[in-house]
């Protein structure tokens, strides 16, 4: 796996999807809930979000607890190139 530079986060995320937002349009939470709210979670939910809604634009910040191991395995099943960010909290 290679490291790649990520774009800085927008300070004000868009609320609606549409052409007026250009290439960086983001579906609203309401739209995502309508599209995927019936899914059980896990890989079934992660796959369309990683592959269709936010391709190349997601990263994971795990806590490295037991739940994180499951989530990281599921994400790797969908896209092994999804960046994992490590935060040094000094603890």
Question: Does 90 fall in a domain?
Answer: yes
Helix (H) / strand (E) element for 56: namely none
Q: Does residue 21 belong to any structural domain of this protein?
A: no
Asked if residue 67 belongs to a domain, the reply is yes
Q: Which of 76, 77, 83, 37 is nearest to 59 (CA)?
A: 83
Token pair for residue 35? 């599209």
19 belongs to a structural domain: no
pTM of the model: 0.63
Position 72 in a domain = yes
pLDDT at 21: 47
Q: Are 1 and 80 in contact (CB under 8 A)?
A: yes
Q: How many structural domains compose the chain?
A: 1
Q: What is the mean pLDDT of residues 48-74?
A: 89
In a domain, 65, yes or no: yes
What pLDDT digit, counting tens, does each position of 6-43 carry?
A: 455 444 444 444 555 445 566 788 888 888 899 988 89
| Domain coverage including residue 50 | 28-91
20 found inside a domain:
no
**Separation between Cα atoms, residue 29 and residue 37, nearest integer Å:** 10
């Amino acid at each position: 796996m290679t490291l790649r530079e990520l774009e800085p986060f927008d300070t004000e995320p868009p609320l609606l999807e549409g052409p007026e937002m250009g290439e960086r349009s983001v579906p609203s939470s309401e739209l995502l809930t309508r599209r995927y709210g019936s899914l059980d979670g896990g890989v079934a939910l992660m796959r369309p979000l990683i592959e269709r809604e936010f391709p190349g634009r997601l990263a994971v910040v795990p806590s490295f607890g037991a739940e994180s191991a499951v989530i990281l395995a599921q994400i790797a099943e969908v896209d092994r190139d999804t960046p994992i960010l490590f935060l040094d909290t000094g603890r």
